[in-house]
Amino acid sequence: MFNKTNAWSLSFVLLMVSGCSNAVDKTLSPPSDAQWVNVEVKNPSPYTKPFPLEVRYISHECLKKRVSGFDGSTITEPSYNVVAIPMQQGAGEHWQGKVARNGGGACKWTLSAINLGIEYTDATHLGKDLVPGTAVGATIAFDDDASRNGQFTSVQGDLHISPKYYPYIREKKIDKIENTLSLLGKEDFLSLKAEAAAVIVFSPEIDESKITRFVGIKKKMKGVYPKIIYPDGSVAPDKTLFPDFNKVDGMSIK
């Protein structure tokens, strides 16, 4: 199910590979004295699973050149190296992985960012026609390069993250026959900068008693819009693009 992360990581991956025409040695070889980041994900449901850690390394030794699309000039910039590290199941619902801060190798790779999180692997318990949708989780930046878009919140020390999520069913009527089950959170992916973190613990909570639905339209018609239906049956105003997490979170469902 790792391919489910493609939707949320597209811009992340494009940044890594855009214009990369110079071959570099991406072999990782952490030294014997390398420091490690220990990652633990607590799987909250038998219907979900942590996806493999998506780890981004950066090299300021093996620089690459690309042609600017604006004026045709040549730009020299660092190289990027993205690897997937499978999570290993430990006791019960606890999954672990570890990432070397110093990736070593000929290019002296250093840790820049980690994507981690969970996704549904089985959706039929909430609808026989449902398939798993997109993943949720966190992007942890370890340097200024990874956090340069300014959207990252800086934190000190180790991380213990416990976001809450609710089921979000998307019923598409046009161009897509699959109905998907994803998770609705305050943010799909938290953006945190934690340069000093040696331990990251991600313990999400899922409350399946409150389900939000996106109901698409069968065909495009003037004045007809998709609907977002909240767990209490209320409908979001026309042209609303995303559900209001705080509204769902504050609802009392009898």
Distance, in Å, from the CA atom of 151 to the CA atom of 167, rounded to the nearest integer, reads: 26
Query: What pTM was estimated for this model as a whole?
Result: 0.85
Asked whether the beta carbons of 142 and 148 are under 8 A apart, the reply is no
pLDDT score at 23: 80
- Measure Cα distances from 89 to 50, 55, 98 in Å: 9, 19, 13
Residue 134's region, left for phi above 0, alpha for psi from -120 to 50, else beta, is beta
pLDDT tens digits, one per residue of 205-219: 999 999 999 998 877
pLDDT score at 59: 97
pLDDT score at 176: 66
pLDDT score at 15: 41
pLDDT score at 219: 78
Helix (H, G, I), strand (E, B), or coil: what is residue 11?
Answer: helix
What percent helix, strand, coil does the chain show, rounded to 5?
10, 45, 45
Q: What's the DSSP call for residue 237?
A: P
Cβ neighbours of residue 112 closer than 8 Å, sequence gap 6 or more: 56, 57, 58, 80, 141, 142, 143, 145, 146
φ, ψ at 70 (rounded to 5°):
-90, -50
pLDDT score at 222: 83
Distance, in Å, from the CA atom of 42 to the CA atom of 126, rounded to the nearest integer, reads: 22
Which tokens in the block code for residue 130? Answer: 């449902």
Domain boundaries, the chain: 2-18+29-165+188-208
Beta bridge partners of 42: 94
pLDDT score at 19: 40
Q: What is the pLDDT along the chain (254 residues), one digit of tens a residue?
A: 444 444 334 344 434 444 444 588 999 999 999 999 999 999 999 999 999 999 999 999 999 888 876 777 888 899 999 999 999 998 889 999 999 999 999 999 999 999 999 999 999 999 999 999 999 999 999 999 999 998 999 999 999 999 999 999 998 776 667 899 999 999 999 999 999 999 999 999 999 999 999 998 877 788 788 899 999 999 999 889 899 999 999 998 76
pLDDT tens digits, one per residue of 191-207: 999 999 999 999 999 99
Pick from 192, 190, 128, 197: nearest CA to 165: 190
Cβ neighbours of residue 145 closer than 8 Å, sequence gap 6 or more: 58, 78, 112
